Structure formats: structure tokens, C-alpha cells
Amino acid sequence: MGTLSLSDFKEVRVPAPWGHIAGRWYGNRTERPILAIHGWLDNLGTFDRLIPLLPDYIGVLCIDLPGHGRSSRLQPGLHYNMYDLIYIIPRVMKEYGWTKVSLMGHSLGGILSFFYTSLAPNTVDMVISLDILLPKPLGDPGRALVQVAQEMDKHLVEEDRQEEGNLHEPPSYTLAQLTKVLAKGSHNSVTPEFAKHLLHRQVNISQLYPNRFYFSRDGRVKYYHSLPVESGLAAEMARRIQRKPYLIIKGSKSAYVGVECEEPMSILRQNNPHFQFYEVEGGTHHVHLHAAEECARYIVPFIRHHRPPNLTSWSLTGKEQQLSSNEKRRVLEKFFERMKKNKRSKL
């Protein structure tokens, strides 16, 4: 069986009241794909290195969250928050008529996957969570509240800047400068080597200066609203998920799956043969980007087990195939081999 091609995709737009949700649907587009959701300040390019390692019989729909990548921004006067973003999942499902969804999320995308699965567990058939489960704890409450207050002020300043920016182009940078800014903003989780996978969907070419670019994402997403989940609530959310197939991959150098996740993970694990947890040695928060091969070692068998090929739906004459040609050949060989054995047994 083959793997997906990064060049085999269809650009999609899911209508929304504020504009649209942009995405790329990789591979098989004849049946329900895996819905992949990126992390905070990232975009669907975060999955660029993982996509070519996934089995080609199932598609993957990667989306840009509102204000990120090529998705529409929210209207002026609104702000981004984690809880409203949960509604993106059922909105995509409604657009394509899905009654079930398979989720793969990194960071914010993984948190949204956990929240949504706990709210509507009967609509989810599997979850792949990359270096996340819950929002990180606030730490010192006093310092955290000061930070939230400061971000409120910064959000208003950003709105004013954008209003003025309609008349002026935002600050622009060279490509080398952009990679350094991205690395610094991610605490070096996205190294300059892998920055290109994210930059291609979140920068525009400057119309004023040659060979310079500016960030095209909504600056307000930097100040999106998030509060940690109280331990009792996190435990109850995990209980609602019950025996759902759930895979969590953690980077060993990352602190995003910490002690706050121990109780809900223990609940997810209880009497659940479909729960899996792995730690990738040396991995940072963007473990799927810089250690894609290691992640795929766990993700691919998980997908094959919980979303196996639909052998009843392929057409030997059609161009849209559910399985690769090699896989079909092997299946047919096994079929004819069984027929020969049956004939010999009757003689």
C-alpha cells in the first residue's frame, strides 16, 4: 500500500457567516477523510511533513482555523477564543454531510479535538492528538491575570493598527528574518529549517519592497482567549469519551503534556484497549514537524486499525481508487489463491 502525495490535493472552502474556512483535501476524495487541525498561530502547512507518510487509501482534510493561513478573519470588534473555535468541527461536518468524524490535531487543534469529542462522543470514531490534551495550567494566578489584562489592551491596540493598516502595508521582512521570527515565536519548536512549511500560507509579498514579505494572518489571534480546564471538569470530559480510540504522541522535550493531563489520561486508558500513548525522544512541541517519521510509526498503524480500507467500495475500472494499485493486486492474488485451494479441496 502506498502513501499520500503532498501534490495530490484539492483546495477547499467551507462557507461561514464571517467568510470561509480554507483547507486542502489530500488524497482520496470519494469517502470521509481525517480532519486535521493545526495549532495556535500555525496553519495547515504544519502537516506537510506528516502527510506523505500516511496511507493513501484514506484522505486527509487539513484546514486553516479562522484568522490563520488562508481562512477568513473574524469581523472587527470580535475576538478569538478557544471555545468558539470548537464549532468549526461540526460546521465542516455539516458542509460535507458527515455523521462521524476522525480527528487529528496538534496543540490548539488537539485541545479542540478533546473538547469536541467529550461533547459529542457518538460522532467521533478516532482521535490523534499531537503533543497536547488540555490547555496548560495558568501557573501563578496573580501573574496570569495580569497577563490576561495586558492582552486585552494589546487586542484593542491591534484593532486600531489594523484599521490604520487598511491605508498602509504592514511591516515587511526578508525571508531570513521571517524564519527567525517564526522560530523565536515558537520557542524554537519550529526551527528555520522547517519554517517554510508554515510561511507559505501566512505571508504575502510586499508591494513596496522587492524580496520582502509581511505576515498575512490576523494579528488578533495572538491574543485569543483561553483558560485552563479545572481538574474535575477535565476528568468528566475524559469519562464521556469512554472507550474511544485515542492516540497521544508527546515530544520528550515538550512540557505540553504535563501533570494536569495525568488524571484524564488515566481515565481515557481505563478499560480501553484503543487508547495509546507514546513519547518521541528528543521531540519538542512541533514533534510531528521535525520528527514526522517517528510520529508516523505510531499514527499509521493506528489509522489502519481504526479506519481500515473499505474493500467493498473500490472499482477496478474507475480512476478514483480507494487503495493503491499494489494493494489491490495483493488482495486479488490472495482471492485467486483461495479460489484455487477451494477447487483443489473439491477434487
Is 14 in contact with 20 (CB distance < 8 Å)?
yes
Residues 268, 237: Cα–Cα separation, whole Å = 10
Pairing of strands 246-251, 213-215: unpaired
Residues 108, 286: Cα–Cα separation, whole Å = 12
Q: How many CB atoms lie within 10 A of CB 191?
A: 15
Q: How many CA atoms lie within 13 A of 127 on its CB side?
A: 33
Nearest CA to 49 out of 202, 194, 226, 237 is that of 194
End-to-end CA distance of the chain: 35
Residues 20, 5: Cα–Cα separation, whole Å = 25
229: phi then psi, degrees, rounded to nearest 5: -90, 125
List the catalytic residues: 107
22: burial class by Cβ within 10 Å (0-12, 13-18, 19+)?
buried
